[in-house]
Amino acid sequence: MRELVRSAGRIAAQLRDVREQAEALGIFCADRELLECPSCGLVEDVACDGRLMTYKPSDGAIADTGLRFEEADECRYRCPECGTLVAAGASSTHVAEYLTALPPREILQQKLHAAIALSRKRLESRTDTREAT
């Protein structure tokens, strides 16, 4: 068991190093929702190579504008095009959560059970929708 804990610590350190390298290359590694400005329609997305990009769907093309939302405070970002404050968590696209340290086993079990319950609920919702049509 001790060796497992030591191995997990080494892996967490390696993940932290990889994350720092990825961020230095411009790869999106944040644990937050992708943003969308309700005023001007500018949206964030992650390109297939992992880089963060912004574009306006109304323009008809998905081409990076080079603009980036700026963090205004802990929960809000400022749209670089129109200046609107956008609340983090207002959109429905969540990127990921990366762990750099192994949490206690009980927390991992709780998160696993919650994820399984959510997946079952979503699957049942899809099944109910299909049966209704």
- Distance, in Å, from the CA atom of 21 to the CA atom of 46, rounded to the nearest integer, reads 17
Top-confidence residue, 110 or 98: 110
If DSSP codes are grouped into helix, strand and coil, which group holds residue 66? coil
- Buried b / exposed e along 61-77 (16+ C-beta atoms within 10 A): eeeeeeeebeeeeeebb
Helix (H) or strand (E) holding 86: strand 85-87
- Distance, in Å, from the CA atom of 130 to the CA atom of 119, rounded to the nearest integer, reads 17
Q: What is the mean pLDDT of the chain?
A: 81
pLDDT digits (tens, 9 = 90+) for 24-45: 887 877 777 889 999 999 999 8
Label residue 129 by pLDDT band (50, 70, 90): low
Label residue 60 by pLDDT band (50, 70, 90): confident
State the average pLDDT over residues 106-118.
Answer: 82
